[in-house]
Chains A and B, each alone.
Chain A
Amino acid sequence: MTDVLMPALSPTMEEGTLSKWNVKEGDTVRAGDVIAEIETDKATMEVEAVDEGVIEQILVPAGTENVKVNAPIARLKGEGDSSSNGAAPPQSAAPTASPNTDEQKTVSPPPGTGGGGREADGGGQPAKPASEGAAPLAKASPLKDPELPAGVKMVRVSVRDALRDAIAEEMRRDGDVFLMGEEVAQYQGAYKVSRELLQEFGDRRVVDTPITEYGFAGLGVGAAFAGLKPIVEFMTFNFAMQAIDAIINGAAKQRYMSGGQVSVPIVFRGPNGAAARVAAQHSQDYSAWYGAVPGLKVIAPYDAADAKGLLKAAIRDPDPVVFLENEMLYGLEFDVPDDVDFVLPIGKARIRREGADVTITAHSRMVGLALQAAEQLAGEGIEAEVIDLRTLRPLDHETIVESVKKTNRIVTVEEGWGAFGVGAEVCQRVIENAFDWLDAPPTRVHGEDVPMPYAANLEALALPTVDKIVAAVKAVTYK
């Protein structure tokens, strides 16, 4: 007798809905028969029998939600030969790697409002010097999140759908906006971010490309020269390395080297950084790479509201924007204002948690870890101020510096490698602008200085953790 177990169907799946049984108790099945259908947040999948036998008992009825991976879902009576059935006793299954299981609980809903002047157009900031690196500190950041219209409803939306909504709304608003990339149309997106866009906008505006990143990224840049507003999706940013010349030489430098004649209103977007167990070539964080390039704007949001408001800003922006998403965040839900005019300013950090003892900066998925660490530290009497950078270039160092002047300590957190990284840049800005306020050395938490290993235990060691952040904070607060 064999237990048929709930299968994991993707690197990040932990549970799913058993939507349908195609067999009933007493049925004989053969290897390869489709016995059930399972729904994950990405797709509906068929489950094939691996062994021959008779379905003795269905343990999980059709329609059951949140069935954990590896839970027995049916019992199969086979014909002897135990070596032909691989379903081992459920307890022998290894834990699936899931670095972010706890994030969901600790997410603080975005405050939703910012107050102050409206910046419907996001982006364009004439007051800022073009140079990022040695930018002198402006007196006060002129950028503020827009005030929301009175009575606006907040709705729970996943990061995935928030991105989708941003694209759809901007495509409705502007006929020059189009989406292009691998599997964005018929497949509905490799990670389902472009779900139903083909149906609404057709294949003129939602374009499946061959696997030819350098080619289609360059083609997108050319289309932007001609005034279209391409959204170029990279299935993941790992593959944008194939296209990096189009992004940097093709897009970022054009306005400058044409003396202002050429505009490149393009968005390069897709998941960035490590997913789970996809090893060295599929797990790189490119924040620092793009953050180093004048002519680019670089955005890396954490929650769904920021993802939506900033992607809309990016699409409207007249300059090339690199928009770094994170696969591990796609399924998380947050409150998002139900307002098509909700557009956030590029270049403005968000203080996610106030605190007087230490400043923690983070972006993208690391914001979740930083908030968790802050909770834990609060339990020990240390109040951390958590700043979500949201935009890496232009970096809102004013907000960071103001915070450090209050807390006198800074810990930066990033998923990527530390060397020449985002944290290094943030710390240097603090040193330049608040040296006399510092009571401890600026400190970085970052991914280990190694290519991403595949083995579950090594992968866990390679990435930043809540514990590492807590330890760094304790070091700078001398606790």
Chain B
Amino acid sequence: MARAPANRAPTKAAPKSATPKASTPKAAAGKSAAGKSAVNGAVAAKGPDKAKLLDWYRNMLLIRRFEERAGQLYGMGLIGGFCHLYIGQEAIAVGMQAVKKPGDQVITGYRDHGHMLAAGMDPKEVMAELTGRAAGSAHGKGGSMHMFDVAAGFFGGHGIVGAQVPLGCGLAFANRYRDNGQVSFTYFGDGAANQGQVYEAFNMAELWKLPVVFVVENNQYAMGTSVERSSSETHLYKRGVSFNIPGEEVDGMDVQAVAEAGAKAAEYARTGKGPFILEMKTYRYRGHSMSDPAKYRTREEVDAVRKTRDPIDHLREKMEQLGYTDEEAMKRIDSDVKKIVADAAEFARTAPEPDPAELYTDIYAKA
């Protein structure tokens, strides 16, 4: 593990000039205080590695197909309550996953299925949580909005908009306290970016140089409210300016761009420089949740994004240009993913509900 000496004694708040856009991932990695590539899985300098791109493609496709199926199971009444799909935003969870090191933590809001899958959680367990079964990741107690895999550093799925941001800083505080070189990736939406506690957290994060990367998934809408209608500063990467937290806007529909920016931000946080804000420009294709008719935007707007910016199509085209796609391999990915999702759905449909006695467990630690 790259243990950054700078972590111990935070540099005196070096005046930060605007937003650091200059450094390339390669340069950032080269400047790693530990003197080695700090970024596990950052895109190699010489060119994208084929296996990596195929892997990203597969993982994004898995999320897409999984979410489509979840939508379908919701329609059948097998999933209840609120169900927020990640369709359109796949490149963010997948690209950032490439930046994570073992021991790093992730925390997000209720739009969490994609993050679970990107982190490598068994799709069966994720789907079974959605159907409220004992085999689910939270044994059926949490549901769609409350997914967890603490062993893998995934600290959940939270339902109160913005409330996970201070919690994510708390994870980072623990990292700094223990000087363990780990980073907390704290995700929130464009709507959440207006909650006061986000700014209380920003201030502490910079003040104490906490190793946290704030990832704003700006899908342009908070339920029916566009960023323009809710925000006096619509460039959310600038929201750290008055706290001296650097920020950067990233094309969140381009998995490579996400991974590159993520690597740079993680390196910054990991080496004791403090928090970093990544504003991922993205789009959700579906309604806010299953019960949102999404009348606040036109069908043309949605179609235009799907046609011109789709993260999965985009990567596929890129791979075609590089000659990385052969018909056979792509077909295999396709049918593998389909099967995984079909199996997950079948599992989630037939797995038993929790034992009634579970109603009273997990309220306190076992004595």
Q: Which of B99-107, B140-148, B204-212 contacts A (4 or more CB under 8 A)?
A: B140-148
- Pick from A83, A93, A454: contact of B141, CB below 8 A: A454
B323 at the interface (CB under 8 A from A): no
Total count of chain B residues near the partner, CB < 8 A: 65
CB-defined interface of A19-54 with B at 8 Å, one 1/0 digit per residue? 000000000000100100000101111100010000
**From residue 44 to 88 of chain A, which have CB atoms closer than 8 A to chain B?**
44-46, 50, 69-70, 83-84, 86-88
A218 nearest in chain B by CB position: B196
Q: A453 touching B80 by the CB < 8 A rule?
A: no
B81 at the interface (CB under 8 A from A): yes
What residues of A have a CB within 8 angstroms of the CB of B161 in the complex? 211, 239
Q: A455 touching B140 by the CB < 8 A rule?
A: yes
Expressed in whole angstroms, the Cα–Cα distance for A451 and B141 within the complex equals 9
B345 at the interface (CB under 8 A from A): yes
B293 at the interface (CB under 8 A from A): yes
CB distance from B86 to the nearest CB of A (A): 16
What residues of B have a CB within 8 angstroms of the CB of A34 in the complex? 299
Expressed in whole angstroms, the Cα–Cα distance for A10 and B195 within the complex equals 26
**From residue 253 to 307 of chain B, which have CB atoms closer than 8 A to chain A?**
287, 290-293, 295-296, 299
B132 at the interface (CB under 8 A from A): yes
Q: B80 touching A96 by the CB < 8 A rule?
A: yes
What residues of A have a CB within 8 angstroms of the CB of B75 in the complex? 5, 7-9
A281 at the interface (CB under 8 A from B): yes
What residues of A have a CB within 8 angstroms of the CB of B342 in the complex? 83, 86
Q: A211 touching B80 by the CB < 8 A rule?
A: no
What residues of A have a CB within 8 angstroms of the CB of B222 in the complex? 210-211
Q: A182 touching B74 by the CB < 8 A rule?
A: no
Q: B293 touching A44 by the CB < 8 A rule?
A: yes
CB-defined interface of A227-252 with B at 8 Å, one 1/0 digit per residue? 00000000000110110000000000
- Pick from A69, A86, A96: contact of B72, CB below 8 A: A86
Expressed in whole angstroms, the Cα–Cα distance for A34 and B298 within the complex equals 13
A10-B291, A210-B230, A238-B160 known; A182 vs B223 contact (CB < 8 Å): yes
Name the prevailing secondary structure of the B interface residues: loop
Q: B78 touching A94 by the CB < 8 A rule?
A: yes
A279-B146, A453-B141, A458-B141 known; A11 vs B291 contact (CB < 8 Å): yes
CB-defined interface of A434-451 with B at 8 Å, one 1/0 digit per residue? 000000000000001111
Q: A454 touching B140 by the CB < 8 A rule?
A: yes
B49 at the interface (CB under 8 A from A): no
B170 at the interface (CB under 8 A from A): no
Q: A211 touching B359 by the CB < 8 A rule?
A: no
What residues of B have a CB within 8 angstroms of the CB of A8 in the complex? 74-77, 290
CB distance from B237 to the nearest CB of A (A): 18
CB distance from B158 to the nearest CB of A (A): 7
What residues of B have a CB within 8 angstroms of the CB of A190 in the complex? 223
- Pick from B141, B291, B299: contact of A9, CB below 8 A: B291
Q: A211 touching B145 by the CB < 8 A rule?
A: no
CB-defined interface of A187-222 with B at 8 Å, one 1/0 digit per residue? 100100000000000000000111111110000000
CB distance from A351 to the nearest CB of B (A): 34
What residues of A have a CB within 8 angstroms of the CB of B72 in the complex? 50, 86-87
Expressed in whole angstroms, the Cα–Cα distance for A210 and B197 within the complex equals 14
Q: A461 touching B81 by the CB < 8 A rule?
A: no
CB-defined interface of B67-91 with A at 8 Å, one 1/0 digit per residue? 0110111111110111000000000
What residues of B have a CB within 8 angstroms of the CB of A5 in the complex? 75-76
Expressed in whole angstroms, the Cα–Cα distance for A42 and B146 within the complex equals 25
CB distance from A137 to the nearest CB of B (A): 38
Q: A454 touching B146 by the CB < 8 A rule?
A: yes
A186 at the interface (CB under 8 A from B): yes
CB distance from B33 to the nearest CB of A (A): 38
Expressed in whole angstroms, the Cα–Cα distance for A186 and B230 within the complex equals 12
**From residue 205 to 257 of chain B, which have CB atoms closer than 8 A to chain A?**
222-225, 229-231
Q: B82 touching A282 by the CB < 8 A rule?
A: yes
**From residue 184 to 201 of chain B, which have CB atoms closer than 8 A to chain A?**
191-192, 194-197
A282-B82, A458-B140 known; A86 vs B345 contact (CB < 8 Å): yes
B363 at the interface (CB under 8 A from A): yes
A419 at the interface (CB under 8 A from B): no
CB distance from B289 to the nearest CB of A (A): 8
Expressed in whole angstroms, the Cα–Cα distance for A87 and B367 within the complex equals 45
Expressed in whole angstroms, the Cα–Cα distance for A43 and B140 within the complex equals 29
B76 nearest in chain A by CB position: A93
What residues of B have a CB within 8 angstroms of the CB of A83 in the complex? 338-339, 342
Q: A448 touching B359 by the CB < 8 A rule?
A: yes
What residues of B have a CB within 8 angstroms of the CB of A9 in the complex? 75, 290-291
Expressed in whole angstroms, the Cα–Cα distance for A98 and B231 within the complex equals 38
Expressed in whole angstroms, the Cα–Cα distance for A310 and B73 within the complex equals 40
Q: B353 touching A455 by the CB < 8 A rule?
A: yes
A95 at the interface (CB under 8 A from B): yes
B358 at the interface (CB under 8 A from A): yes
Expressed in whole angstroms, the Cα–Cα distance for A420 and B19 within the complex equals 52
A278 nearest in chain B by CB position: B81
What residues of A have a CB within 8 angstroms of the CB of B25 in the complex? none
**From residue 264 to 296 of chain A, which have CB atoms closer than 8 A to chain B?**
275-282
A92 at the interface (CB under 8 A from B): yes
B131 at the interface (CB under 8 A from A): yes
**From residue 50 to 79 of chain B, which have CB atoms closer than 8 A to chain A?**
68-69, 71-78
B342 nearest in chain A by CB position: A83
What residues of A have a CB within 8 angstroms of the CB of B356 in the complex? 457-458, 461
Q: B353 touching A457 by the CB < 8 A rule?
A: yes
What residues of A have a CB within 8 angstroms of the CB of B225 in the complex? 182-183, 186-187, 208, 210-211
**From residue 70 to 128 of chain A, which have CB atoms closer than 8 A to chain B?**
70, 83-84, 86-88, 92-97
Q: A279 touching B81 by the CB < 8 A rule?
A: yes
- Pick from A46, A210, A276: contact of B80, CB below 8 A: A276
**From residue 140 to 167 of chain B, which have CB atoms closer than 8 A to chain A?**
140-146, 158-163
Q: A211 touching B140 by the CB < 8 A rule?
A: no
A96-B80, A239-B160, A458-B359 known; A279 vs B143 contact (CB < 8 Å): yes
What residues of A have a CB within 8 angstroms of the CB of B141 in the complex? 279-280, 453-455, 458
User: CB within 8 Å of A: which residues of B?
Assistant: 68-69, 71-78, 80-82, 129, 131-134, 138, 140-146, 158-163, 191-192, 194-197, 222-225, 229-231, 287, 290-293, 295-296, 299, 338-339, 342, 345, 349, 353-354, 356, 358-360, 363
A-B contacts, 13 of them at CB < 8 A, read A8-B290, A94-B76, A186-B296, A211-B191, A211-B194, A211-B195, A213-B195, A277-B143, A282-B81, A453-B354, A454-B138, A454-B142, A454-B146
User: CB within 8 Å of B: which residues of A?
Assistant: 5, 7-11, 13, 31, 34, 40, 42-46, 50, 69-70, 83-84, 86-88, 92-97, 182-183, 186-187, 190, 208-215, 238-239, 241-242, 275-282, 448-451, 453-458, 461-462
Of all A-B residue pairs in the complex, the 6 with the closest CB atoms, nearest first, are A7-B75, A277-B80, A454-B143, A10-B291, A277-B81, A455-B140
